[in-house]
Amino acid sequence: MELAGLSVREDAVGNIFGRWLAWWLKGEGGRKRWDGLEPELAAVATGSHIDAIPYSGKYDGVVGVLGAIEAIRVLKRSGFKPRRPLEVISFTSEEPTRFGIGCLGSRLLAGSEDLANSLKTSTDIQNISFLDAAGSAGYSKNEDDLSSVFLKKGTYSAFVELHIEQGPILEDEGISIGIVTAIAAPASLTVEFEGNGGHAGAALMPNRNDAGLAASELALAVERHVLDSGSIDTVGTVGILELHPGAINSIPSKSHLEIDTRDIDEERRNKVVEKIHQSAIKITKTRGVKLSDFRVINQDPPAISDEAVIKAVETATKELNLTSKLMISRAYHDSLFMARLSPMGMIFIPCYKGYSHKPEEFATIEDMSNGVKVLALTLAKLSSQ
Amino acid sequence: MELAGLSVREDAVGNIFGRWLAWWLKGEGGRKRWDGLEPELAAVATGSHIDAIPYSGKYDGVVGVLGAIEAIRVLKRSGFKPRRPLEVISFTSEEPTRFGIGCLGSRLLAGSEDLANSLKTSTDIQNISFLDAAGSAGYSKNEDDLSSVFLKKGTYSAFVELHIEQGPILEDEGISIGIVTAIAAPASLTVEFEGNGGHAGAALMPNRNDAGLAASELALAVERHVLDSGSIDTVGTVGILELHPGAINSIPSKSHLEIDTRDIDEERRNKVVEKIHQSAIKITKTRGVKLSDFRVINQDPPAISDEAVIKAVETATKELNLTSKLMISRAYHDSLFMARLSPMGMIFIPCYKGYSHKPEEFATIEDMSNGVKVLALTLAKLSSQ
């Protein structure tokens, strides 16, 4: 087998600017299959997501879906015939924006019973239920039993995801390809404080129990607990902090925070979660507010990449004369959950200044083409095994 | 003149539950006049506002508009003939909710050139301009020169406003009527921080400049500076704190705060404003964020009630056998600005637990009736002078 001359059609990868490929996968459950010479074998799968957070960039996820489609075309153009089937997956709702939990699609495929149950009653901020949203997107209303989408272990012999690094290391070091060895363990929390509110002029300071100041204190406590871990690998963020009623002349009577904390060490991350909880309780005592909600939305273990997948990616980069580096993914991805189903690996490409989740997010056509070539060659190797 | 037997129609005051009286004033510039025996004399005016902050109560302002209308009816039913004209005013936008500045209507009537200029380019959160909003509400588009609404000093011989106390003192002490001697001096600020944002997993803690944590620090600094004033009369509130992009897995790249601080001592309040500014600058240095906006939206002097108006209210309460108390208004009102145009006074009635700016706000029919009677008798006295 000779695939060293792989050619990527740059217009295909470059068309990252439209998220117009939804139609491509529509009505086929987000998965598209190329049957191999032995279609009864477990498939090799690849893919990512095309949804995004508000005010974000165009590359996070999209590179791994359009890139997967182009990798399949590369293989087809080269005349390659896979032994195992190849599948491209476009996961729904990788970002937690709409229903409050990230990697909704891959969590479900990986068989999360808890999520399948909780989604029956989940609604978005406009009070649209998850099941209605799925129906409107063309997915059958009869599939209200979400466990019907669970995949069996062994469905895939391997899963590989192409993604921008979302960090600055590859660009700083001038390296073309990052080979992910592990994905950091994320946890996300939602917290609500309640106080009596009142008029900003008339209520004197000693009589107040300001839910907004409680939230500000907790936000700063999150940062303190993360820094206290002593490890550069521990991170924590308050990305959402909302005050009610949200008027300049009204003392906040309610506050709502959403907190994200991650680490490559699960135990260390769980300690941060516990300390955040203790701080929230302490704040209720010092400020006389009520902790009306403290919920761990998810608290996932880290995922370790599969040795054989790492090896296949490494070999592909060598055959393509590309520089590469083994690295950790601090962001999490659908791969974190696909690892519960199948051997997993990830291919990173550099992105401008490491920017992600903001409009300045950018990857060059050259880096995307390199990523697609490595993905294509990796898929070729894995589907021939 | 004998008005001691004044009767208030309780259904009129009780109908506080609908804000349906807008039609009543529509198209008449928010002012309605009862010509007196000597219509060329300066009028006595009364009124308040019917707008409200989000999720607020039904009494703040509304009692002083419906109450003013009922007071005029009380006088008409009693056969009273005023010497001076009497006017009822329903001020627009007393709350700063829509266009960011409170007492928009009374500030303009009182001749604020700065406001008349800035409103030409003001828009609400939905990008509707102030001038378009005024047009949609039935006010002439030709009046784009807002200085046309300025009133001359001397237009009114007195202005009196009936209002709920928005504090607990009258209820606690079992007193029917509060006679306001001064209105505390309010200032409001808007502050914005900017940082680089980024991915909540991928950006390590030392590389962050989190605009959300900058906002939380400033919110707590506001509280500290207010408490450091050492006076129970100094208050400060962060009622609005917004993060951008507002996603759980994104480091806030922008934050927006709106801060309200008040005192009966203008100099002490100005010191708090200055300290808040210093803290904002300090935070830019410690957190590496940019202070992209720091604006004093308003920084008004306090207002002192007119001796003759206080005397008229005091006499009215005595003639009606009602208990009363001289007091300060910590909330500010349209009266603060009407005081720039005319001798001013305010009549407070008790409200449940001092609650205001929340749904639990409440005043009894009896207290509202007492307030209307005192207002009617006060208007009778002032319009006869």
| pLDDT tens for each residue of B173-187 | 999 999 999 999 889
B237 in A contact zone (CB under 8 Å): yes
From A381, A201, A40, A291, select the one nearest B94 (Cα to Cα): A201
Note the pLDDT of residue A87. Answer: 94
Half-sphere exposure in the Cβ direction for A231 (13 Å, CA): 16
A321 in B contact zone (CB under 8 Å): no
Q: Tell me the C-alpha distance between B212 and A195, whole Å.
A: 22
Q: Tell me the C-alpha distance between B346 and B353, whole Å.
A: 20
Q: Tell me the C-alpha distance between A103 and A132, whole Å.
A: 19
Q: Would the CB atoms of A96 and B197 count as touching at under 8 Å? A: no
B99 or A179, higher pLDDT: A179
Name the residue with tokens 């009623």. A245
Note the pLDDT of residue B23. Answer: 36
Beta strands A235-244 and B86-91: pairing type? unpaired
Neighbours of B110 (CB within 10 A): 20
SS3 A288: coil
Provide the CA B352 distance to its chain's centre, in angstroms: 19
Q: Tell me the C-alpha distance between B212 and B201, whole Å.
A: 16
**The domain over range A10-111+150-184+303-384 is classified in CATH as 3.30.70.120:** no
- Minimal Cβ distance to A219: which of B216, B245, B357: B216
Q: What is the mean pLDDT of residues B169-198?
A: 95
Q: Would the CB atoms of B245 and A216 count as touching at under 8 Å? A: no
Q: Would the CB atoms of B248 and A227 count as touching at under 8 Å? A: no
Note the pLDDT of residue B6. Answer: 65
- Minimal Cβ distance to A245: which of B55, B220, B258: B55
Q: Percent of chain A, pLDDT > 90?
A: 69
Neighbours of B17 (CB within 10 A): 8
A288 in B contact zone (CB under 8 Å): no
- Is the pLDDT at A238 greater than 90? The verdict is yes
Residue of B nearest to A333 (CA): B201
Q: Which one of A60, A233, A250 would you mutate to disrupt binding with B, by most B Cβ within 10 Å of its Cβ?
A: A250
Note the pLDDT of residue B272. Answer: 97
Q: What is the amino acid identity at position B143?
A: E
Domains B10-111+150-184+302-384 and B187-299 share a fold: no
Q: Rounded to whole angstroms, what are the CA distances from B137 to B25, B108, B116?
A: 12, 17, 18
Note the pLDDT of residue A143. Answer: 58
Beta strands B303-304 and B185-194: pairing type? unpaired
B167 in A contact zone (CB under 8 Å): yes
A228 in B contact zone (CB under 8 Å): no
Note the pLDDT of residue A166. Answer: 92
Note the pLDDT of residue A10. Answer: 58
B198 in A contact zone (CB under 8 Å): yes
At B371, is the pLDDT very low, low, confident or very high (cuts 50, 70, 90)? very high
At B144, is the pLDDT very low, low, confident or very high (cuts 50, 70, 90)? low
Note the pLDDT of residue A23. Answer: 36
Fold observed for domain B10-111+150-184+302-384: Aminopeptidase (3.40.630)
Residues of A in contact with B355 (CB under 8 A): 198
Q: Tell me the C-alpha distance between B89 and B48, whole Å.
A: 7
- Minimal Cβ distance to A226: which of B55, B202, B205: B205
From B336, B333, B314, select the one nearest B325 (Cα to Cα): B314
- Is the pLDDT at A15 greater than 50? The verdict is no
Q: Which strands make up the sheet holding B254-263, listed edge to edge?
A: B235-244, B254-263, B185-194, B290-299
What length is written for chain A?
Answer: 385
Q: Would the CB atoms of A199 and B234 count as touching at under 8 Å? A: no
- Is the pLDDT at B4 greater than 80? The verdict is no
Mean pLDDT of chain B: 90
Q: What is the mean pLDDT of residues A86-95?
A: 91
- Is the pLDDT at A11 greater than 60? The verdict is no
Q: Return the DSSP state at A41.
A: S
At B92, is the pLDDT very low, low, confident or very high (cuts 50, 70, 90)? confident
The C-alpha torsion from A48 through A49 and A52 to A56, rounded to 10°, is 30
Name the residue with tokens 């946890």. A187
Note the pLDDT of residue A86. Answer: 96
From B329, B325, B327, B326, select the one nearest B302 (Cα to Cα): B329
Domain at B187-299: CATH architecture: 2-Layer Sandwich (3.30)
Q: How many helices (H) and strands (E) does chain A have?
A: 12, 12
- Is the pLDDT at B143 greater than 80? The verdict is no
From A204, A244, A237, A199, select the one nearest A220 (Cα to Cα): A237
pLDDT tens, A18-57?
A: 333 443 444 334 778 899 899 999 999 999 998 888 888 8
Q: Would the CB atoms of B201 and A210 count as touching at under 8 Å? A: no
Where are chain A's structural domains? 10-111+150-184+303-384, 185-299
A183 in B contact zone (CB under 8 Å): no
Residue of A nearest to B358 (CA): A198
Residues of A in contact with B203 (CB under 8 A): 167, 235, 354
Q: What is the mean pLDDT of residues A136-160?
A: 83
Q: Would the CB atoms of B260 and A102 count as touching at under 8 Å? A: no
What length is written for chain B?
Answer: 385
- Is the pLDDT at A352 greater than 70? The verdict is yes
SS3 B315: helix
> Taking CA B216 as the corner, what is the angle to CA B212 and CA B220, rounded to the nearest 5 degrees?
170
What ranges make up the beta strands (E) of A4-108?
31-34, 43-49, 86-91
Q: Percent of chain B, pLDDT > 70?
A: 91
Q: Would the CB atoms of A202 and B247 count as touching at under 8 Å? A: no
Q: What is the mean pLDDT of residues B289-309?
A: 95
B237 DSSP β-pair partners: B260
Cβ pair A318, A133 in contact under 8 A: no
A125 in B contact zone (CB under 8 Å): no
Backbone φ, ψ for residue B344 (5° rounding): -130, 150
Q: What is the mean pLDDT of residues B257-266?
A: 94
At B133, is the pLDDT very low, low, confident or very high (cuts 50, 70, 90)? confident
- Is the pLDDT at B367 greater than 90? The verdict is yes
Cβ pair A46, A338 in contact under 8 A: no
Note the pLDDT of residue A271. Answer: 97
Q: What is the mean pLDDT of residues A316-336?
A: 95
Provide the CA B188 distance to its chain's centre, in angstroms: 12
Helices (H), B178-324: 211-228, 266-287, 307-319
Q: Residues 3 to 32 of A: which have CB under 8 A from any B CB?
A: none
From A248, A319, A232, select the one nearest B222 (Cα to Cα): A248
Mean pLDDT of chain A: 90
Note the pLDDT of residue A53. Answer: 85
Residue of B nearest to A52 (CA): B247
Q: Would the CB atoms of A56 and B245 count as touching at under 8 Å? A: yes
Q: Which one of B104, B190, B238, B249 would you mutate to disrupt binding with A, by most A Cβ within 10 Å of its Cβ?
A: B249
A260 DSSP β-pair partners: A188, A237
A146 or A14, higher pLDDT: A146
From B247, B187, B263, B251, select the one nearest B215 (Cα to Cα): B251
Residues 6+ apart with CB under 8 A from A127: none
From B385, B374, B318, select the one nearest B44 (Cα to Cα): B385
Q: Return the DSSP state at B96.
A: S
Residue of A nearest to B60 (CA): A199
What ranges make up the beta strands (E) of chain A?
31-34, 43-49, 86-91, 156-164, 177-183, 185-194, 235-244, 254-263, 290-299, 303-304, 324-329, 344-349
pLDDT tens, B11-45?
A: 544 444 333 344 344 433 477 889 989 999 999 99
Residues of A in contact with B330 (CB under 8 A): 201-202, 204
- Minimal Cβ distance to B260: which of A210, A213, A249: A249
Q: Would the CB atoms of A248 and B235 count as touching at under 8 Å? A: no
Q: Tell me the C-alpha distance between A223 and A210, whole Å.
A: 21
B342 in A contact zone (CB under 8 Å): no
At A174, is the pLDDT very low, low, confident or very high (cuts 50, 70, 90)? very high
Residue of A nearest to B355 (CA): A198
From A7, A51, A43, A44, select the one nearest A25 (Cα to Cα): A51
Residue of A nearest to B226 (CA): A205
Angle formed by the axes of helices B62-77 and B365-384, nearest 10°? 60
Helices (H), A192-265: 211-228
Question: Is the link from the previous residue into A168 a cis peptide, with omega within 30 of 0?
Answer: no
Of the candidate ranges A211-215, A278-282, B24-28, B214-218, the one whose mean pLDDT is the lowest: B24-28
Note the pLDDT of residue A2. Answer: 46
Cβ pair A40, A94 in contact under 8 A: no
CATH of region A185-299, choose from 3.30.70.360, 1.20.1600.10, 3.40.800.10, 3.40.630.30: 3.30.70.360
Q: What is the mean pLDDT of residues B141-170?
A: 88
Residue of A nearest to B264 (CA): A201
Cβ pair A84, A43 in contact under 8 A: yes
Residues of A in contact with B288 (CB under 8 A): none
Give the DSSP H/E element, type plus range, for residue B183: strand B177-183
Q: How many helices (H) and strands (E) does chain B have?
A: 12, 12
Name the residue with tokens 């627009």. B92
